[in-house]
Amino acid sequence: MVQVEIAQLAGECNAWRESLRQYREEFTQDKAKLQQAASQPLSKELLQEVEHLHNQFHIQLINIHDLKQAIKNHDRKMNFEMQVNNGQLNDETVAEHESLFDQHQHLEQTLRDLRQEFDDFLGRSQ
């Protein structure tokens, strides 16, 4: 078992969930902008991009939801372990925290790339 600062880990979980909430809001709005763009006359190439972006928004919104839920469950598990184990976490729980950090970082990069791809699309479709 590892003695860690639960406030720091809980704070990290809260920050990750907040950033995912913001991405969810942004991509939900972007999905609506994409639908507006798709209602305009577009070339076959741009219509294929609309379909690709629509699919990516859908997939990434699911990924955001899934990671947010995993972080929420992890936070609950940490709180439970801290109460049961006199302020200590199991090694597996600490490793899970590090894994969630990596997953969050990877998803954030994917979302930034998608945001750039969408901005590029908007520039070409107007």
Mean pLDDT of the chain: 94
User: What digits encode the pLDDT tens for the residues 18-31?
Assistant: 999 999 999 999 99
Answer yes or no: is 50 within a domain.
Answer: no
What pLDDT does residue 87 have? 82
- Partners of 32 in beta bridges: none
Confirm if 23 and 64 have CB atoms less than 8 A apart: yes
Burial class for 9, CB neighbours closer than 10 Å (0-12, 13-18, 19+): buried
- pLDDT of 6 above 90: no
Which pLDDT tens digit goes with each residue over 80-109?
998 898 888 899 999 999 999 999 999 999
Number of domains comprising the chain: 1
Q: Is residue 83 part of a domain?
A: yes
The per-residue pLDDT for 50 is 96
What residue has token string 């809980």? 10
User: What is the token pair recorded at 90?
Assistant: 């199991």
Q: What is the mean pLDDT of residues 104-119?
A: 98
pLDDT tens for 54-72 read 999 999 999 999 999 999 9
14 in a domain, yes or no?
no
Structural domain includes residue 40: no
Residue 71 lies in a domain: yes
Classify residue 124: in a domain, yes or no: yes
Structural domain boundaries, residue 102? 60-126
Is 26 inside any structural domain?
Answer: no
pLDDT at residue 24 in the model: 98
For residue 75, the model assigns a pLDDT of: 96
Q: Which amino acid is at 82?
A: M
Q: How confident is the model at residue 1 (pLDDT cuts 50, 70, 90)?
A: low
User: Distance (Å, rounded) from C-alpha 104 to C-alpha 45?
Assistant: 32
Overall average pLDDT of the 37-47 stretch: 92
Q: Is residue 113 part of a domain?
A: yes
